[in-house]
Protein backbone atom coordinates (compact mmCIF):
# COMPACT_ATOMS: atom_id res chain seq x y z
CA UNK A 1 0.00 0.00 0.00
CA UNK A 2 1.57 3.23 -1.13
CA UNK A 3 -0.38 6.39 -0.33
CA UNK A 4 0.47 9.55 -2.25
CA UNK A 5 -0.93 12.88 -3.35
CA UNK A 6 -1.31 13.69 -7.03
CA UNK A 7 -2.87 16.21 -9.38
CA UNK A 8 -2.91 20.00 -9.16
CA UNK A 9 -1.05 21.04 -6.00
CA UNK A 10 -3.86 23.43 -5.04
CA UNK A 11 -6.49 20.74 -5.46
CA UNK A 12 -4.42 17.66 -4.70
CA UNK A 13 -6.05 14.24 -4.57
CA UNK A 14 -5.10 11.43 -2.23
CA UNK A 15 -4.57 8.00 -3.73
CA UNK A 16 -3.33 4.62 -2.57
CA UNK A 17 -1.50 2.39 -5.00
CA UNK A 18 -1.52 -1.36 -4.41
CA UNK A 19 1.37 -3.07 -6.14
CA UNK A 20 0.28 -6.48 -7.47
CA UNK A 21 1.52 -9.31 -5.29
CA UNK A 22 0.43 -12.13 -7.60
CA UNK A 23 2.08 -13.22 -10.82
CA UNK A 24 2.03 -12.61 -13.68
CA UNK A 25 1.38 -8.89 -13.38
CA UNK A 26 -1.56 -7.93 -15.57
CA UNK A 27 -1.32 -5.12 -18.09
CA UNK A 28 -4.77 -3.96 -16.97
CA UNK A 29 -5.11 -1.87 -13.82
CA UNK A 30 -8.22 -1.53 -11.66
CA UNK A 31 -9.22 1.90 -10.39
CA UNK A 32 -11.68 1.85 -7.49
CA UNK A 33 -14.33 4.57 -7.22
CA UNK A 34 -15.66 5.18 -3.72
CA UNK A 35 -19.26 5.94 -2.78
CA UNK A 36 -20.20 9.15 -0.95
CA UNK A 37 -20.53 10.23 2.69
CA UNK A 38 -21.18 7.62 5.34
CA UNK A 39 -21.26 5.00 2.58
CA UNK A 40 -17.64 5.93 1.86
CA UNK A 41 -16.68 5.58 5.54
CA UNK A 42 -18.30 2.18 5.78
CA UNK A 43 -16.89 0.95 2.44
CA UNK A 44 -13.27 1.98 3.01
CA UNK A 45 -12.29 -1.36 4.47
CA UNK A 46 -14.11 -3.31 1.74
CA UNK A 47 -12.20 -1.39 -0.92
CA UNK A 48 -8.94 -2.22 0.76
CA UNK A 49 -9.97 -5.87 0.83
CA UNK A 50 -11.00 -5.79 -2.83
CA UNK A 51 -7.70 -4.12 -3.76
CA UNK A 52 -5.72 -6.77 -1.90
CA UNK A 53 -7.60 -9.67 -3.54
CA UNK A 54 -7.22 -8.19 -7.03
CA UNK A 55 -3.54 -7.56 -6.30
CA UNK A 56 -3.11 -11.26 -5.44
CA UNK A 57 -4.38 -12.03 -8.93
CA UNK A 58 -1.74 -9.81 -10.48
CA UNK A 59 -3.78 -6.65 -10.99
CA UNK A 60 -2.30 -3.29 -10.07
CA UNK A 61 -4.99 -1.43 -8.13
CA UNK A 62 -5.45 2.18 -7.19
CA UNK A 63 -8.11 3.75 -5.01
CA UNK A 64 -8.44 7.46 -4.45
CA UNK A 65 -10.50 10.14 -2.73
CA UNK A 66 -12.42 12.61 -4.89
CA UNK A 67 -11.76 16.30 -4.33
CA UNK A 68 -13.37 17.51 -1.08
CA UNK A 69 -13.61 13.97 0.31
CA UNK A 70 -11.42 11.76 2.48
CA UNK A 71 -7.78 12.83 2.61
CA UNK A 72 -7.97 14.88 -0.60
CA UNK A 73 -7.92 18.67 -0.56
CA UNK A 74 -11.09 20.71 -0.33
CA UNK A 75 -13.97 21.32 2.04
CA UNK A 76 -16.86 18.86 2.12
CA UNK A 77 -19.11 21.69 0.90
CA UNK A 78 -17.06 21.95 -2.32
CA UNK A 79 -18.22 18.54 -3.57
CA UNK A 80 -19.10 18.63 -7.27
CA UNK A 81 -20.20 15.86 -9.63
CA UNK A 82 -18.44 17.18 -12.78
CA UNK A 83 -15.28 17.66 -10.70
CA UNK A 84 -15.47 14.09 -9.40
CA UNK A 85 -15.94 12.66 -12.90
CA UNK A 86 -12.90 14.63 -13.96
CA UNK A 87 -11.06 13.34 -10.87
CA UNK A 88 -11.62 9.78 -12.14
CA UNK A 89 -9.85 10.69 -15.38
CA UNK A 90 -7.04 12.45 -13.49
CA UNK A 91 -6.60 9.41 -11.26
CA UNK A 92 -6.68 7.11 -14.26
CA UNK A 93 -3.88 9.05 -15.98
CA UNK A 94 -1.80 9.01 -12.81
CA UNK A 95 -2.44 5.29 -12.45
CA UNK A 96 -1.38 4.50 -16.03
CA UNK A 97 1.87 6.36 -15.48
CA UNK A 98 2.55 4.93 -12.04
CA UNK A 99 1.86 1.28 -12.88
CA UNK A 100 3.11 1.54 -16.45
CA UNK A 101 -0.11 0.15 -17.85
CA UNK A 102 -2.19 1.05 -20.87
CA UNK A 103 -5.56 -0.33 -19.87
CA UNK A 104 -7.61 0.79 -16.90
CA UNK A 105 -10.88 -0.69 -15.67
CA UNK A 106 -13.18 0.84 -13.09
CA UNK A 107 -15.01 -0.63 -10.12
CA UNK A 108 -17.51 1.77 -8.57
CA UNK A 109 -19.79 1.27 -5.59
CA UNK A 110 -23.14 3.10 -5.20
CA UNK A 111 -22.56 6.75 -6.19
CA UNK A 112 -19.06 5.74 -7.24
CA UNK A 113 -20.65 3.37 -9.78
CA UNK A 114 -22.74 6.19 -11.23
CA UNK A 115 -19.62 8.36 -11.46
CA UNK A 116 -17.69 5.51 -13.10
CA UNK A 117 -20.46 5.05 -15.66
CA UNK A 118 -20.43 8.78 -16.36
CA UNK A 119 -16.64 8.78 -16.74
CA UNK A 120 -16.90 5.89 -19.21
CA UNK A 121 -18.73 8.14 -21.68
CA UNK A 122 -15.28 9.24 -22.85
CA UNK A 123 -14.10 7.22 -25.86
CA UNK A 124 -11.24 4.83 -25.20
CA UNK A 125 -10.89 5.75 -21.52
CA UNK A 126 -11.73 2.44 -19.85
CA UNK A 127 -11.86 -1.26 -20.60
CA UNK A 128 -14.36 -2.72 -18.13
CA UNK A 129 -16.70 -0.84 -15.85
CA UNK A 130 -18.00 -2.74 -12.83
CA UNK A 131 -21.14 -1.22 -11.34
CA UNK A 132 -21.59 -2.47 -7.78
CA UNK A 133 -25.05 -1.76 -6.38
CA UNK A 134 -25.11 1.41 -8.49
CA UNK A 135 -27.09 4.53 -7.80
CA UNK A 136 -29.19 4.60 -10.95
CA UNK A 137 -30.35 8.17 -10.83
CA UNK A 138 -29.12 11.13 -8.84
CA UNK A 139 -32.67 12.23 -8.10
CA UNK A 140 -33.65 8.81 -6.83
CA UNK A 141 -30.54 8.75 -4.64
CA UNK A 142 -31.45 12.14 -3.11
CA UNK A 143 -35.01 10.92 -2.48
CA UNK A 144 -33.63 7.80 -0.77
CA UNK A 145 -31.45 9.97 1.45
CA UNK A 146 -34.35 12.19 2.47
CA UNK A 147 -36.40 9.08 3.30
CA UNK A 148 -33.50 7.73 5.31
CA UNK A 149 -33.17 10.97 7.31
CA UNK A 150 -36.90 10.95 8.06
CA UNK A 151 -36.68 7.34 9.19
CA UNK A 152 -33.47 7.82 11.17
CA UNK A 153 -34.68 10.93 13.00
CA UNK A 154 -38.23 9.58 13.38
CA UNK A 155 -39.53 12.84 11.99
CA UNK A 156 -43.24 13.41 12.35
CA UNK A 157 -43.22 16.93 10.94
CA UNK A 158 -41.32 16.96 7.69
CA UNK A 159 -38.76 19.74 7.44
CA UNK A 160 -38.03 21.51 4.21
CA UNK A 161 -35.52 19.45 2.25
CA UNK A 162 -35.36 21.86 -0.68
CA UNK A 163 -32.31 23.75 0.63
CA UNK A 164 -28.96 22.56 1.98
CA UNK A 165 -28.93 19.73 4.50
CA UNK A 166 -26.59 17.13 5.99
CA UNK A 167 -26.71 13.36 6.06
CA UNK A 168 -24.69 11.62 8.78
CA UNK A 169 -22.35 14.62 8.94
CA UNK A 170 -21.82 15.03 5.20
CA UNK A 171 -23.32 18.00 3.35
CA UNK A 172 -25.81 17.61 0.53
CA UNK A 173 -25.98 21.14 -0.75
CA UNK A 174 -28.76 22.10 -3.11
CA UNK A 175 -26.33 22.75 -5.97
CA UNK A 176 -24.70 19.33 -5.46
CA UNK A 177 -28.06 17.57 -5.49
CA UNK A 178 -29.05 19.42 -8.66
CA UNK A 179 -25.84 18.20 -10.30
CA UNK A 180 -26.60 14.64 -9.25
CA UNK A 181 -30.15 14.85 -10.58
CA UNK A 182 -29.16 16.30 -13.93
CA UNK A 183 -25.92 14.42 -14.61
CA UNK A 184 -26.38 10.96 -13.15
CA UNK A 185 -29.06 8.98 -14.97
CA UNK A 186 -27.68 5.58 -15.83
CA UNK A 187 -30.87 4.24 -17.38
CA UNK A 188 -31.22 7.17 -19.78
CA UNK A 189 -27.67 7.69 -20.97
CA UNK A 190 -26.77 6.28 -24.41
CA UNK A 191 -23.13 7.32 -24.55
CA UNK A 192 -21.43 4.39 -22.86
CA UNK A 193 -18.04 3.84 -24.46
CA UNK A 194 -16.21 1.27 -22.32
CA UNK A 195 -15.58 -2.17 -23.82
CA UNK A 196 -17.58 -4.06 -21.23
CA UNK A 197 -20.07 -3.34 -18.43
CA UNK A 198 -20.67 -5.63 -15.46
CA UNK A 199 -23.52 -5.07 -13.03
CA UNK A 200 -23.18 -6.62 -9.56
CA UNK A 201 -26.18 -6.49 -7.27
CA UNK A 202 -26.34 -7.53 -3.64
CA UNK A 203 -30.11 -8.00 -3.82
CA UNK A 204 -32.94 -8.28 -6.35
CA UNK A 205 -34.28 -4.81 -6.98
CA UNK A 206 -36.65 -3.65 -9.73
CA UNK A 207 -34.53 -0.68 -10.79
CA UNK A 208 -31.61 -2.98 -11.61
CA UNK A 209 -33.82 -4.82 -14.11
CA UNK A 210 -34.57 -1.44 -15.65
CA UNK A 211 -30.86 -0.75 -16.08
CA UNK A 212 -30.34 -4.23 -17.48
CA UNK A 213 -33.06 -3.69 -20.10
CA UNK A 214 -31.56 -0.33 -20.98
CA UNK A 215 -28.10 -1.83 -21.51
CA UNK A 216 -29.61 -4.64 -23.60
CA UNK A 217 -31.41 -2.10 -25.79
CA UNK A 218 -28.11 -0.28 -26.31
CA UNK A 219 -26.56 -3.63 -27.32
CA UNK A 220 -23.67 -3.08 -24.93
CA UNK A 221 -21.25 -5.83 -24.06
CA UNK A 222 -22.95 -6.34 -20.73
CA UNK A 223 -23.51 -8.93 -18.03
CA UNK A 224 -25.34 -8.94 -14.75
CA UNK A 225 -24.62 -10.87 -11.54
CA UNK A 226 -26.53 -11.30 -8.34
CA UNK A 227 -24.41 -12.03 -5.25
CA UNK A 228 -26.66 -11.91 -2.21
CA UNK A 229 -24.90 -9.80 0.43
CA UNK A 230 -25.71 -7.13 2.98
CA UNK A 231 -25.86 -3.74 1.27
CA UNK A 232 -26.84 -1.20 3.91
CA UNK A 233 -23.89 1.12 3.47
CA UNK A 234 -25.43 4.09 5.23
CA UNK A 235 -25.84 2.47 8.62
CA UNK A 236 -24.02 4.16 11.51
CA UNK A 237 -23.14 2.47 14.75
CA UNK A 238 -21.20 3.65 17.75
CA UNK A 239 -18.58 0.95 17.49
CA UNK A 240 -17.06 1.76 14.13
CA UNK A 241 -18.08 -1.59 12.67
CA UNK A 242 -17.51 -1.65 8.93
CA UNK A 243 -19.25 -3.73 6.30
CA UNK A 244 -17.32 -6.30 4.30
CA UNK A 245 -19.83 -8.16 2.08
CA UNK A 246 -17.59 -11.06 1.17
CA UNK A 247 -19.88 -12.76 -1.37
CA UNK A 248 -20.09 -9.78 -3.69
CA UNK A 249 -16.42 -8.87 -3.26
CA UNK A 250 -15.45 -12.43 -4.22
CA UNK A 251 -17.82 -12.34 -7.20
CA UNK A 252 -16.26 -9.13 -8.49
CA UNK A 253 -12.76 -10.53 -8.08
CA UNK A 254 -13.80 -13.72 -9.89
CA UNK A 255 -15.10 -11.66 -12.82
CA UNK A 256 -11.60 -10.32 -13.39
CA UNK A 257 -10.46 -13.86 -14.15
CA UNK A 258 -12.56 -13.91 -17.29
Residues of the shown chain interacting with other proteins in the complex, contacts defined by CB under 8 A:
1, 3-5, 12, 14, 16, 41, 44-45, 48, 69-71, 73, 76, 166, 168-171, 229-230, 232, 236, 238-246
| Pick from 17, 22, 66: nearest CA to 40 | 66
Closest separation between CB of residue 230 and other proteins, Å? 5
Closest separation between CB of residue 38 and other proteins, Å? 8
Phi, psi of 52, rounded to the nearest 5 degrees? -65, -45
Closest separation between CB of residue 1 and other proteins, Å? 6
Closest separation between CB of residue 10 and other proteins, Å? 10
- The length of the chain in residues reads 258
Q: Which is nearer to other proteins, 77 or 102 (CB)?
A: 77
> Partners of 132 in the beta sheet?
109, 200
Q: Which is nearer to other proteins, 149 or 211 (CB)?
A: 149
Whole-number Cα distances in Å, 143 to 11, 109, 139, 233 = 30, 18, 6, 16
Q: Which is nearer to other proteins, 212 or 225 (CB)?
A: 225
Q: Which is nearer to other proteins, 82 or 169 (CB)?
A: 169
Separation of alpha carbons 29 and 24, rounded Å: 13
β-strands 103-109, 28-33 pairing = parallel
Amino acid sequence: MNPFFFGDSHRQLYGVYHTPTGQPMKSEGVLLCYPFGQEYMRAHRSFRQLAMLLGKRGYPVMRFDYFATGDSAGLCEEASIPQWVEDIHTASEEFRYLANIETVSLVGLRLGAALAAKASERQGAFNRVVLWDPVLSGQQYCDEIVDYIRYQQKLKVLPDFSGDFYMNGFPLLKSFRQEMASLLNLDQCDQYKANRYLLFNSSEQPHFSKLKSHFEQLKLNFESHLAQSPGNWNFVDNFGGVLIPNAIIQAIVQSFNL
